[in-house]
Amino acid sequence: MATHIMNESLPDPADTPERILILDFGSQVTQLIARRLRESGVYCEIWPFNSSAERII
């Protein structure tokens, strides 16, 4: 299960010093966490839990 969520209203990552990567393990609250972060002006992305370490770093 790969979940990639991009929202039209995301802050520009270049303009945002705070960035968070959320690894999706299938939790029902993953989207809620991302929404709350975005509402706070923090750029975040949701990636599948099995993303490679090289891609994350």
- By the 8 A CB rule, do 25 and 51 touch? no
Give the pLDDT confidence score for residue 24 in this predicted structure: 97
Instruction: Show pLDDT as tens, one digit a residue, over the chain (57 residues).
Output: 455 555 556 556 667 677 899 999 999 999 999 999 999 989 999 999 999 999 988
Q: What is the largest CA-CA distance in the chain?
A: 31
Please state the pTM of the whole predicted model: 0.67
- By the 8 A CB rule, do 46 and 5 touch? yes
- The H or E element that residue 24 is part of is strand 19-24
Give the pLDDT confidence score for residue 7 in this predicted structure: 52
Give the pLDDT confidence score for residue 1 in this predicted structure: 46
Alpha-carbon gap, residue 43 to 35, rounded angstroms: 10
- By the 8 A CB rule, do 11 and 37 touch? no
